[in-house]
Amino acid sequence: MPKFQLPYAQPIDPSKKILYKNARIIDPKSGFDQAGELLTIGDKIADFGQKVSGSENAEVIDCGGKVLAPGLIDIQVHFRYPGQTHKEDLESGSKSAVAGGITTVVCQPNTNPTLDSVEVLNDLHSKALEAAHCNVRAYACVTKNMKGEELADLPALKAAGAVGFTDDGLPVMNAHLMRRAFEASRDLGVVVAQHAEDLNLTNKGCINEGEVSKQLGVRGIPNISESVIVERDLAILEAIGGKYHLLHVSTREALEAIKRAKAKGLKATVEVSPHHFTLTDQQVLKSGTNAKMNPPLRSELDRLALIEGLRDGVIDAIATDHAPHDIASKEKPLAEATFGIVGVETMLPLSLNLVDQGVLSLRDLLAKMTCNAAEIINFDGGEIKVGARADLVLIDLDSEWEIDSSNFFSKSKNSPFDGFKVKGRAIKTVVAGKVVYEI
């Protein structure tokens, strides 16, 4: 059975030494990729290289030549705390995360109550220190109670540790509020992250608008539902300044818009979820409501554009949009079931596919789940360097296994990847110097 530990519930002994020897150490940020060893003392990386100094009396972990990289950072998860802890909570969500090699997550604020006040945000942070197996950060809401009517107190939320602002789950439809949010982003130096969806164009659609929605006789969500909001946001960004982050891009049109914005020098970044570059709406025919998420799985043309965006670097990061739901929320007709799938335990192997397919080098892939992700949210992590907090993952690239949702540590099992044969997995995960997960 895998072993779990909490990183912060008990303080780590500051003199505790662990020597990870016989590792292939990869730091995507610096490009370091060498066989060697790494020493942690307390919660920090003390040294790494072919041979380290100061390792006497250290506990020794033989890495067997496997990849030792910065712990993965997933900048979009829904851990359902507070309010829907029957679907997930900080403990189960973070167990699931560290089992997937993730050492830091960013929670979305569409909880109940929403993360629109300092009080609720403080409670999340302190609860996470007691109960979570990984680092937990969060976006705060753009608008009060995500109603899209009035801005939340963005400076206070930033001061309380919010990594940025979003009403994820709902778009900010009011362009004036978006302008005000960009003004705050410009002044505070954090991103406004958008779930880009024009609700009028979505028109209560439930899956991608295309052949599959026609075949099933359900309402579709057109590509323009995403792209018109992205085009609008980028126009406001250009006029006002600030930083824009597009959550879970799904369409080629939205990606093109980001590409143009980047070429103009605007501060725009974008993430993609593994399901959007792995699957198309055809999967709905096989997995039903477990392939229903928002934005929806799109066409093969879109999927290929996302792959190209990963290859050419327009896509900065990979994030899961981990969205656990209980069985009752999914055992419904397609039009009525809730949107979303679990993702933190399958992000790494699904992404490693891109390396096998020759789309990305291992370094470039890891960058999208470590240093690039950290940069978007101004997080002090995502790299291996002396003095940095020891957040690490040991990856067995050759381990072949079959995804079985019944084995997930998440409270929820809603995944379209059940039965998928994959390669590569996290075998040890280290947060702040402690081995929080090992198999």
| Shortest CB 93 distance to Zn ion, Å | 16
At 240, the amino acid letter reads I
| Shortest CB 238 distance to Zn ion, Å | 23
Q: Can you state the angle between helices 252-263 and 223-240, rounded to 10 degrees? A: 20
Closer CB to Zn ion, 195 or 389, in the complex? 195
Footprint of Zn ion on residues 273-312 (CB under 5 A)?
A: none
CA–CA distance, 215 with 319 (Å, rounded to integer) = 30
| Shortest CB 67 distance to Zn ion, Å | 31
Report how many residues bind Zn ion under the rule CB under 5 A. 2
Closest residue to Zn ion using C-beta atoms: 195
- Are 178 and 238 in contact by the 8 Å Cβ rule? The answer is no
Closer CB to Zn ion, 342 or 393, in the complex? 342
Q: Identify the residue whose tokens are 């369409």.
A: 251
The DSSP bridge partners found for residue 435 are: 430
N-term to C-term CA, the chain? 7
**Tokens, residue 85:** 């802890």
Pick the stretch among 165-173, 174-182, 273-281, 352-360 that binds Zn ion (CB under 5 A).
165-173
| Shortest CB 167 distance to Zn ion, Å | 9
| Shortest CB 13 distance to Zn ion, Å | 41
Among 89, 168, 226, 383, binds Zn ion (CB under 5 A): 168
Three-state SS string over 8-50 comes to CCCCCCCCCEEEEEEEEEEECCCCEEEEEEEEEECCEEEEEEC
The DSSP bridge partners found for residue 425 are: 396
Footprint of Zn ion on residues 327-366 (CB under 5 A)?
A: none
CA–CA distance, 115 with 111 (Å, rounded to integer) = 7
Closer CB to Zn ion, 139 or 182, in the complex? 139
CA–CA distance, 118 with 229 (Å, rounded to integer) = 28
**Tokens, residue 126:** 């302190």
Q: How many CB atoms lie within 10 A of CB 129?
A: 14
| Shortest CB 215 distance to Zn ion, Å | 26
Closer CB to Zn ion, 66 or 245, in the complex? 245
Distance of CA 83 to the CA centre of its chain: 21
CA–CA distance, 216 with 406 (Å, rounded to integer) = 28
Strands 392-402, 67-70: pairing is antiparallel
Catalytic hit among 47, 116, 168, 321: 321
Q: How many CB atoms lie within 10 A of CB 112?
A: 11
Closer CB to Zn ion, 146 or 354, in the complex? 146
Asked if 322 is part of the footprint of Zn ion (rule: CB under 5 A), the reply reads no
Distance of CA 279 to the CA centre of its chain: 18
CA–CA distance, 338 with 419 (Å, rounded to integer) = 22
**Angstrom distances, CA of residue 263 to CA of 256, 257, 260:** 11, 10, 5
Pick the stretch among 62-70, 130-138, 194-202, 416-424 that binds Zn ion (CB under 5 A).
194-202
CA–CA distance, 21 with 50 (Å, rounded to integer) = 9
Among 29, 78, 195, 413, binds Zn ion (CB under 5 A): 195
Closer CB to Zn ion, 112 or 361, in the complex? 112
Closer CB to Zn ion, 40 or 412, in the complex? 412
| Shortest CB 428 distance to Zn ion, Å | 31
Based on the residue annotation, tell me whether 116 is a catalytic residue of this protein: no
- The SS3 assignment for 224 reads helix
- Are 373 and 270 in contact by the 8 Å Cβ rule? The answer is no
| Shortest CB 423 distance to Zn ion, Å | 29
Closer CB to Zn ion, 55 or 108, in the complex? 108
- Are 248 and 321 in contact by the 8 Å Cβ rule? The answer is yes
Pick the stretch among 50-58, 117-125, 193-201, 272-280 that binds Zn ion (CB under 5 A).
193-201
Residues assigned a catalytic role: 321
Q: Which residues bind Zn ion (CB under 5 A)?
A: 168, 195
